[in-house]
Amino acid sequence: MTVSNAPKPRRPGRPPQTDEEQARARQNIVRATSLVFAQYGYHGISVARILEHAGIARPTFYRYFRNSDEPLRMALDDVGRALRDRVVADVTAAEGDIPKVVAAIDAYLWWSGENRGMLRSLYAGIHDPASPVSVQRPNTLRAMVDLLFREFEAAGRPRPERWVLDVYVNAVEYTCYQLYLETEATPEDVAKARQVMLRMGLATLGSPRDWDTFHDNPHLFDTPGIETGRGGAAPDEPPGPDRPSP
The answer to whether residue 16 sits within a structural domain is no
The answer to whether residue 117 sits within a structural domain is yes
Give the per-residue pLDDT at 118. 94
* 37 Cβ neighbours under 8 A, 6+ residues apart: 45, 72, 75, 118, 121
Give the per-residue pLDDT at 242. 40
CATH code of the domain in which 123 resides: 1.10.357.10
The answer to whether residue 101 sits within a structural domain is yes
pLDDT tens string for the chain (246 positions)?
A: 454 555 555 555 566 778 888 999 999 999 999 999 999 999 999 999 999 999 999 999 999 999 999 999 999 999 999 999 999 999 989 887 778 888 889 999 999 999 999 999 999 998 899 999 998 888 888 888 888 888 888 878 888 888 888 888 889 999 999 999 999 999 999 999 999 998 898 888 877 777 777 766 666 666 554 433 333 333 333 333 343 443
- Work out how many domains the chain is built from and give that number: 1
What is d(CA 121, CA 37) in angstroms, rounded to the nearest whole number?
7
- The DSSP string of 178-235 is HHHHHS---HHHHHHHHHHHHHHHHHHH--HHHHHHHHH-TTTTPPTT------S--T
Give the per-residue pLDDT at 85. 93
Give the per-residue pLDDT at 102. 86
Give the per-residue pLDDT at 34. 96
3-class secondary-structure state, position 243? coil
The answer to whether residue 48 sits within a structural domain is no
The answer to whether residue 23 sits within a structural domain is no
Domain range spanning residue 151? Answer: 69-216
The answer to whether residue 188 sits within a structural domain is yes
